[in-house]
Structure 1
Amino acid sequence: MYPQENNESPCEEDTSSGSAPLSPLPTFDKHIRWPYPLERIMSCASSDAQRDILLLGAFTTLGSTMGWHVRCAYGGKMISPCLQTFVSALSASGKGVLSLVRLLVEPFHDEIRKEALEKMACYLREKAKYDALGKERAKAEVPVMPPNKMFLISGNNTGTGILQNLMDSDGTGLICESEADTISSAIGSDYGHWSDTLRKAFDHDRLAYNRRTDREYREVKKTYLSVLVSGTPSQVKSLIPSAENGLFSRKIFYYMPAIQHWQDQFDRNDRDLEETFIQMGMEWKEKLKTIFMGGIFTLHLSDGQKEEFNRLFSQLFMRSEVTNGNEMSGSIARLAINICRIMEVVAMLRVLESGDIATSPHLSPDPGTSADNLKDHIISLWNLAITDEDFHAVLSMAECLYRHATHILSFLPATEVTRRSNADRDALMECMERQFTRTEFLKKAEEMGIKPATAATWLKRMTKNGLVENKDGKGTYQKP
């Protein structure tokens, strides 16, 4: 017997215990064949969820190194593959494997640091000679301190510190932290407050700061900062206290389920995964030289791909309105941007599978390239295409990432008087036909492990807020 409509009360609504949803969240399609080295990276996982986070981690780290060299026109501006990814899981759920993907970019970072340290040592020698000149210094040129370049930027940083790191590195970098508290504590400190930097970096915005004490002004015109963070559900709330501060909608979220049984940790092949990833990192450092020497690669979707892309996100946007009101609208809009960014990474990796990228069928010189430059093979602007298979592979991730983001949203404080929805309600609504009865709705909820009283409250609130329509006043409802 289901609860009567006039007996529904907001206090009856609840969610699953702890942080886990009642219905398992989806994982990415295991049958997709991704370009190298993605398949090799995912082969190191021991579960579907680990495969997914290694894939997301690879997109984030590899894309971060491409910077402004790879781009796509979207929304009237050029966007590059700079992702901000947050993997949330309970302790000992297997998210630690994510630390391996940092090794993919450490050789690149180490090379930058080696060059920076050599320049600093040279500067110190020149400065010592200059200081020893005595009165002759007036005739000599003052040595200039070189920028302290790096690629991997510490999340344990002050607001000005992270700006200095970015400006010294031409606006490019990656924050990669295994504990979200490292970043949230830094942002919340007296000298922190750099969450605005993360928000601006998402859009490649200009960053600047001014110091009154020494009249120092510095700026960088474009920012190419990526972020890869993991943490527990409680750490999500520490980093993003409200869905309204803009950080939530800019992140790619993935929620890892808890491990339900003991897993053997002894590798039969005695593999050292760190060595495997360091080797792939060394390979990637060499691949980057091809990208950097090639110039700028601009992804162009075909008309058919654009139509399919817009159709999918239009459906997601409408579906989100039904179950979440306007609270997820910004997240859908920015998920579309992030999907474009992932397509850039996949398309570029597919091109790199060719020994000579100039022979790749997915790459062509920009139409504006002069005939003389084409003849002399001097090409700095390229048009990049993505295969239909790769396009559909990336696009299929949108549904999964939307569901995970909706679940993470349920961790955050509600911004309205009513309780916020969660992934369970979204999954329930997705199961219903466009027109359904109240009995069908409550029955399906019970099958999914949702209390009928909770489902009844959801239905009442969605009707009250105009998210579903009561067709006849007798228990027949219709989605927009």
Structure 2
Amino acid sequence: MNLNQKQTVECTLYFSAFDTQTLMLTTLERYIADVRSGKHKKAVEKVQAYLAASENEKAEAGKKRLPLLVPGGAMAGGRKLEHMVRYSGCICFDLDDVLLPPEQILSQAVQLGYVKAGHISPSHTGNKLFVLVDSDQEHHLQAFEQVRAMIENDLPGVTVDISGKDANRGCFASYDPDAFYKEVAEVVHVPQETVPVAKKAPAVRASSYPDNSLSNYIDKFEANNPFAGGGRHSFVLKLASALNSAGFDENEVMAECLRRYVEPGFAEKEIRGIVADVYRRYRSSHGSNPWCPPTASTGQKSLTSLTSLTPISENPTTEGESSLGFDIDPDEVGLPHFDRAILERCPGLISEILKVATDDREYDLLLLSSLTVLSTIMPGVSGMLKNQLYKPPFYTLIVGPSGSGKGSINVVRKLADPWQNYVYDVSKAQVKEYEEKREASDNYKAQVRAAKGKKPAGPPVEEPELVRQKHLHMSGYTTTARMIEQLDVNSPYASFLYETELESVNNTIAQEFGGYSYVLNQAFQHERISCSSKTNGTSYIEFPELGFLATGTPGMLTKLIPSTESGLYSRMLIYRITGRSEYQPLTSADDTLCSLRYFERLGQRVLDMAVHLESSPTFVSFSDKQRKRLDRFFEREYNNVRVFGNNDIASVVLRHRLIVFRMAMTLTGIRKGESRNTDGKIEIADDDFEIAFHIGKCCLRHSLLVSTSLKHSDTEQHYKLPDAQVDLFEAMPDEFKTSDILEEARVRGISRASVFRMLKKAQGYGLLLLVSTGYYRKTEKGKNVKK
């Protein structure tokens, strides 16, 4: 063992187990400091509370939302072994379900000179120990086995989990005020010459059996014993019994079972328990029925070409499978909150609004709702996208269960009140003037009729042009005819449909007189709205402007938009509230009217901004650099949903690009209005672009998740991982066989028919090449579907 004088251990920290694209480089020392300081305390205690209540599935989902540390080195572009760019020589050893209290194990581990750091696991049932080795990545497995034996010898009664055998193994962040970190620890020497490891091969445990016989045995077992929901426990129990009798090593059986059978609802811990229990109880039967791998028959024909192989049939989707895998709880996806570091650069007005937010959820809701409201108060602001003129107003829908805090957005309505009242009062004065002119015109006509053709004294009075009362606010309880009339009357200003209860919109749309989904669809794109009736004849609006903000439960959403085929879904910026709602205590802020008047004062500020914008028209545009960034992102997302998802939601991706532009226009208008700038043409500032782009990307993830629930007719909502197919495709090596991807798809719960459809589409979009029957090779484009 060697003693180093300076030890800095480079690690990689991921946002969560679900988000392996969001990562940062850190050090082991900094990570342990966060574990001690309580940075993750709230999330960890929530996991422990679920375990205490025997809600194991919720605990597992909560654990997977914790940050994930890969101590093995620096990663880039993902979390697979091939994404490791620098090896740190640090191995994490997982001690689960120890007999002694984990605090006692930790106090013993700190006495071992070669243990660099350690802490108690988030479940508080085991420990994580970190050890440095002097070997390279190619000898990681050998190093793991060597140190594993040392730990099990030095800590009696402790068994090391073999899952840490891979260099890219991660561990979930925890909270442990007694966690330790040594500035200098012994570095374990690994004699590399003793176990040669093939170069260019990923670090996997070398099999003790020839011809991959363990895998072959399990393949044959599966042929007669299907692995399916409802019988998974008994399946693994029978398989482990058969493998024990056949003489296979327990550790290799454990690793292979984990590789094949871990899935949502059937966790790693359960599989480990089954296999370990079988091998412990039936140790005397080990090897009693040894299995010999089959030898090739000399009487069979030789294989002359790949086409002579038996083709794999394209079976229809079996029960429990779908094109996007298993049902999930939306909370499991780890939908991110908006990044406050980016939003610190918001215009001053937005920053003032967000000051009242009490937590991340309220912060997100206030940001989205205030931007939506302000987008309707941008008179004279416009821009071009794909050769079409657009104004800032956009549609936002906030979806969450009852009691999840949706009502916190109600205060933002006060931002629009002064502007709407101002337009109403100006319009009222114009209507009064019109009525006076009409009265004068009617009197003049009466005089003409009374004079029997003689012109009365004085100049003739012309009939005035019709002026109707503007009212920018719209209610969900509005008939289609009234909505069309109001949009026409309110022009050139944007109307604003605001409802905190989506039920009112649903109830009205369901009525014959209120089916205004068509109007919402047309107004979003500023497309002509026409209306014909026997009473009123034909009328149309050439350039309608409408903003929309509403909140509702998931059940209300499916009534409004039962299918993603509805064009209305793609026009909505959707935010899905996830996570457990916390009780909000009463505060002294209710002792005065200050909080109420705070938004009233901001509303006056908005009015001043709007009056200035109306007097100084503004044309907004992207820079070339911004356009290229948008195109790179949205082209990738568009191709991904076409190949790996539901074709219905391709329009969701395209319209999110437009919504990003409208948010950027709104932010630009706010800055101009507050600074009293008079420039007629403004290029979107980089800060405003980053903010709008960030919000758009986050909400696109929300929208894609919610879209997976709309295809089901059941009253209970079923959610899927929206990127299940693209994750499957990315997980495959650059060259693979049909059987390989089918096996991986089966583990992920994706149907065979969906895999074949995906392969066909991937070829059509240039992501994949068919080398020969059953063999595929990814193109450069296909290698970067998530980069």
TM-based fold match above 0.5? yes
1:16/1:274 CA distance change after superposition, 3 Å: farther
Q: CA deviation at 1:102?
A: 1.4
- The answer to whether residue 563 in structure 2 is matched with residue 251 in structure 1 is no
User: CA offsets per residue over residues 199-230 of structure 1, 9 Å max, x none?
Assistant: 11111112232332254x43322111111111
- Equivalence for 1:149: 470
Equivalence for 1:23: 333
Q: Would the aligned equivalents of 2:609 and 2:674 in 1 still touch at CA under 8 Å?
A: no
State the SS of the aligned residue for 2:491: coil
* Alignment partner of 2:375 out of 63, 67, 86: 63
Structure 2 CA distance, aligned partners of 1:385 and 1:423?
A: 40
1:218 and 1:425 mapped to 2: Cα distance? 42
- Return closer, same or farther for 1:176/1:454 CA change in 2, 3 Å cut-off: farther
Give, as a single letter, the amino acid of the residue that structure 1 aligns with 2:401.
L
Q: Which one of 667, 672, 681 corresponds to residue 383 of structure 1?
A: 681
- Is the Cα contact below 8 Å between 1:90 and 1:232 reproduced in 2? yes
The question of whether the paired residues in 2 share the 8 Å contact of 1:406 and 1:422 is answered with no
Helix, strand or coil: the match of 1:97? helix
How far has the Cα of 1:306 moved from its partner?
A: 1.3
Provide the aligned length of Structure 1 versus Structure 2.
Answer: 441
Bigger mean CA deviation after superposition, 150-159 or 313-322: 313-322
Amino acid at match of 1:406: L
CA contact (8 A) 1:248 1:331 kept: yes
1:213-252 equivalence runs, <5 A = 213-215=535-537, 217-252=538-573
Structure 1 residues 431 and 399, CA gap change in structure 2 (3 angstroms):
farther
Post-superposition Cα deviations, 1:382-436, rounded to whole Å, max 9, x if no partner, equal 2111222322222122321111001221231259xxxx99562427845984635
Q: TM-score, normalised by structure 1?
A: 0.80
Please, what TM-score do these two structures have when normalized by structure 2? 0.51
What is the alpha-carbon distance in structure 1 between the residues aligned to residue 366 and residue 517 of structure 2? Answer: 25
2:699 to 379, 382, 401: 401
Q: 1:46 is matched with which residue?
A: 358
Is the counterpart of residue 111 in structure 1 residue 404 in structure 2? Answer: no
Name the CA distance, whole Å, in 2 between partners of 1:220 and 1:287. 27
CA contact (8 A) 2:619 2:681 kept: yes
Shift of 1:441: 9.9
Q: Map 1:326-345; keep pairs closer than 5 Å.
A: 326-345=647-666
Matches within 5 A, 1:396-475: 396-413=694-711, 424-426=721-723, 429-430=726-727, 433=730, 435-436=732-733, 455-457=748-750, 461-466=754-759
Partners of 1:387 and 1:431 in 2: CA distance: 38
2:582 corresponds to 1:261: yes
User: For the residues of structure 2 that align with 1:282 and 1:442, how far apart are their CA atoms?
Assistant: 61
Report the residue type matching 2:684 in the other structure. Answer: I
The amino acid across from 1:250 in the alignment is R
1:274 is matched with 596
Name the CA shift for 1:47/1:424 in 2 (closer, same or farther; >3 Å): farther
More off after superposition, 465-474 vs 148-157: 465-474
Q: Quick one: structure 1 residues 285 and 440, their matched pair in 2 at CA, closer, same or farther if it must change by over 3 Å?
A: farther
User: Does structure 2 retain, via aligned residues, the 8 Å contact 1:404–1:423?
Assistant: no
**2:582 partner SS:** coil
SS of residue matched to 1:457: coil
Alpha-carbon distance between aligned partners in 1 of 2:747 and 2:597, rounded to the nearest angstrom: 50
The alignment's C-alpha RMSD in Å is 3.7
Q: Letter of the aligned partner of 2:511 in structure 1?
A: S
The more displaced of 247-256 and 199-208 is 199-208
Distance 1:396 1:143 in 2: 50
2:642 aligned with 1:349, yes or no?
A: no
Q: Deviations over 1:355-391 (max 9, x none)?
A: x414xxxx4xxxxxxxxxxxxxxxxxx2111222322
Are the structure 2 counterparts of residues 320 and 164 from structure 1 closer, same or farther at C-alpha, using a change threshold of 3 Å? Answer: same
Please tell me whether residue 309 in structure 1 is matched to residue 630 in structure 2: yes
Q: For 1:69-88, what aligned pairs fall within 5 Å after superposition?
A: 69-88=380-399
Unmatched tracts of structure 1, length 5 or more: 364-381, 446-451
Using the alignment, how far apart are the partners of 1:461 and 1:334 within structure 2? 26
Asked whether the 8 Å contact 2:645–2:722 carries over to 1, the reply is: no
Percent same amino acid at aligned positions? 22
1:3 deviates by 4.8
Aligned equivalents of 2:518, 2:709: Cα separation in 1: 22
1:164 to 485, 491, 507: 485
SS of 1:327's partner is helix
Match 1:201 to one of 523, 541, 564? 523
Task: Name the residue aligned to 1:294.
Answer: 616
Q: Do the aligned residues in 2 keep the contact of 1:21 with 1:423 (CA within 8 Å)? A: no
Matched, 1:186 2:520: no
Deviation at 1:307, TM superposition (A): 1.1
Alignment check: 8 A CA contact 1:35 1:346 kept: yes
SS for the counterpart of 2:333 is coil
Q: 2:381, 2:391 within 8 Å by CA — same for their partners in 1?
A: yes
Partner of 1:448: none
Corresponding residue for 1:366?
none
After TM superposition, give the deviation of residue 328 of structure 1 in Å.
1.7
Whether contact under 8 Å (1:252, 1:405) holds in the other structure is yes
Alpha-carbon spacing, 1:431–1:339, altered in 2? closer, same or farther (3 Å): farther
Q: Could you say what secondary structure the match of 2:703 adopts?
A: helix
Report the Cα offset of residue 92 of structure 1: 1.2
8 A contact 1:9–1:457 mirrored in 2: no
Aligned to 2:192: none
